[in-house]
Structure 1
Amino acid sequence: MLQQAPLVWGEIAVENMDRALAFYGQHFDVSFRREIMNDMEMAILETEDKQAASIGLVKHEMMLPSMNGSVVYLHLSDKLEPLVARLAANGVSILLPVMAIKEGECGFISLFVDSEGNKVGLWSANR
């Protein structure tokens, strides 16, 4: 058994960094720090805990937005239903409405499509 959580970093592919930053900023009230790393344009989610696992928006030729493959689940709200309702009201495509995991014992999830065409998950301990 691992002694620590295995996830340290996640990347969400983008085609248009300005559009992606506007989408995530508008819908989730989060901010990003833009950087160029080698030949990758990145925007790193700003968090208070600098040691915590986080995500970055990445624009690079080998990063393509996708509805297939791995899904990153973000914990961006204490209650999931109001957030998902707000996304839907703002025209965001909801792929999976709020669903309980093990009858809520393991929290709640939802899936949406971001501005770049990625399938992205949301998680919260509370409905």
Structure 2
Amino acid sequence: QERERVWPSARRAARRGPLMVSWDGGMAAPFSSALMRGVSVRYLLAAAGKVFRVRADELPASDQARLYDRSAPARTFDRFLSHCWSSPGWQKFCALASDHLGPPAFAAASVVAVAVHIAQNLHALP
């Protein structure tokens, strides 16, 4: 019976717990599996990406807790979204919407959103 070879570094890593590994295979660092939490794309895109336009570190503790509660423990991720907290939220929303919905759907939704915004400002819509 042939056994699968397990590299010593992999055995050590298994004892330490989950690892974060860069795409280029660089540094790996152990982290707690309790940190693995996720949210749905639906939530991220809600209200034109409001979650991206709010600085979590500037929210009151009660709002931070509510924001944290929107995530759920995850063992795996379908997608991993890495972003810079200091970049504008609308840019993050546009990138995610374009990637998730596809460019044609995103363009159509954007045109409708701008049209509704203009109509509301002209008092044609409530």
So what's the TM-score if we normalise by structure 1? 0.25
Q: Which has more strand, going by share of residues?
A: 1
Give the structure with the higher percent helix. Answer: 2
Larger radius of gyration: 2
TM-score normalised to structure 2 length: 0.25
Higher relative contact order (CA 8 A, sep 6+): 1
